[in-house]
Structure 1
Amino acid sequence: MGRRALLGAALLLGLLALAAARDYYDLLQVPRSANDAQIKRAYRKLALKMHPDKVQGSEEEKKAAAQKFADVSHAYEVLTDPEKRKVYDRYGEDGLKQMGGGGRGGGGGDPFASFFSNFGFGGFGFGQQEEEAPKGNNVVVELEVTLRDLYLGGHFKLVRDKNVVKPAPGTRKCNCKQKVVTKQIGPGMYQQYTTQVCEDCPNVQYVREPETLTVHVEPGMPDGHTITFFEEGEPIVDGEHGDLHVVLRTLPHPHFERRGEGLMYNATISLLEALVGFEREIEHLDGHKVQIGTRGVTRPGEVRWFQGEGMPQFEKTTRGDMWVTFDVSFPREVSEEQRAELRRLFGGNAELQRQQRDEL
């Protein structure tokens, strides 16, 4: 193999590795332009929600939650370190490994513990609380996806107009606080009252600007699942942005119907196929073929079970099952000659007559 071919193969492998890597900004659900304050707030919210101590379920689910929490913690550790973030933005995880910063899941310790150490968080026993800042309104956006999208997963671009705080001429009152004032109104007599004290800050205004976000849909996410982008909602002056909640809405599929982690498929066969058997395959959501034929008799409304052919189970490695329901298409008319032949074939079939009586 020539040098050019080797370089091409190396480049292809690098691109494949990069495509398979999880994006640290996606993990923390923040834009690539996020500052340290946004990253810290996003991590704190995710860590409170995802910490393994709060996860209930099977050992497999706890193990998956622990791994996801470790990934989020590592992403936070990298993006809050200016040098590591610069390397990651330019070279990805491979660049971090070469500089000795470790790839995904690397790093030492649990940044969650040190992050909250100043707020009296022992495990999850809350002590002193951080003062809440004013927060803008949350925004809810519905994203229409196909059943195939939820089966395979993928990235989707979401474009929306949002309010952005921009500088404006003049000044405004800001950082207003209530101050207790004591005033002497006579010999030995004092009066206390509260007054509002404000600072003068540069003026601002709201401007509508378009924004493009990348929504990462994981395989098996259910209909109605909410993906949260922290601080991507409505802004508020001298406070935190609200959050953006993207709700998944599944478009109907012409053949498949989702039932939780299972799939339902309806197949129509002819009367002849129902009696003598048939061979048929259906195309699944990812394009692979599933054989649904049989050599036996198929009754109208019969349901057959296909294990492991359902939807991926969200945040698991297993899949649900698929059920195929069969409808039998009967002929609209039967000629006298056909009637006679049918009587000859089935008229003396005692077993068939018994089954027909049982069904009545």
Structure 2
Amino acid sequence: MGKNYYAILGIQKDASEDEIKKAYRKQALKWHPDRNIDNKEEADKKFKELSEAYEVLSDSNKKTIYDQYGEEGLKQGAMPEGAGGMPGGFGGFPGGTFKFSTSGGAGGFHPTNANDIFSAFFGGKSPFDMEDQGSSFGGMGGMPGGFSSMPGGFGGFSSMNNMRGSSGGFGGQQFGGQEENKTVTRKLPIDLEDLYKGVTKRLKVTRKRNNTPEEKVLTIQVKPGWKAGTKIKFNGEGDELYNGQSQDIEFVIEEKPHKRFKRDGDKLKTSIEVSLTEALTGFQRNIETLDGRNLLVKGGEGTSVVRPGQEIVVKNEGMPNSKSGTKGDLIIECKVKFPYSLPVEDKNEIKRVLGNRL
């Protein structure tokens, strides 16, 4: 879950601009690292969080994006719902759009240095020159729009669409920006199932050619076994620059968290709960694989028992290797559930049956 900027500043969601400034002023003075020498590590963390929260909530554009999409959408470069005449929504959800800006860096919101924000707000004064209370805003004055014009601001917007496979809504992307940004990089979140099986992604981008917007569909064939960090580059498919060249577009694969499996290289890890009775007498489970098969797993067969934390290794049921085509192992951790209490007669029966064998 992303950061709750309202909670960080201690304000309500409907707080006015004046209330946002007052909250930042009070908290920033309280948690400035120079005022917390004996607790500098915690103060530094809180000071940075407060600055980031203020930078977002004091800027109406950033605040709108944050309220719609949260911290993740803001930092990945989402545009406000309905911007550019396009439907709202969030990338990765059915029918949604995810629109991006590339102005001001690699795209999306990047927090400004906390000390720069403090200095701009208080007109360069030292935290020891200021009182903890009051309504003066120092050098902040009537500075409009928060810090959108400072380094790390969100930048401008253009609209575009995006398609996932033949249907659905991966979300829109916008590429382009300043001349010095020869390569524009964007994250491409992929489900673990798709990284297991492979998938075709078709992304419709809008770029400027001869200063005129045009659309282009880029196709990415995600191979089974691709890992987070894999880069796919499209040379010359971005905006046309002032020197006549065109930007390159580079996607970087990002693995979405999975509710049941965790990837470790070519291995897949998961866990199952086993009752104490099953641990002592044996069990079997059906585990659904990433490609929809039911895999039968057994434990505690014969005279063996299942120990808490014991791992069952299933060969060749892990992630495929995109280079060799082989698969890693599936590792299943057994979590043995112990009862909170037992009737005395059950305990006596266990003692009778097990004796001193355990």
Structure holding more helix per residue: 1
* TM-score normalised according to structure 2 size: 0.47
* TM-score normalised according to structure 1 size: 0.46
Higher RCO (Cα < 8 Å, 6 or more apart): 1
Instruction: Return the index of the structure with the highest Cα Rg.
Output: 1
Structure holding more strand per residue: 1
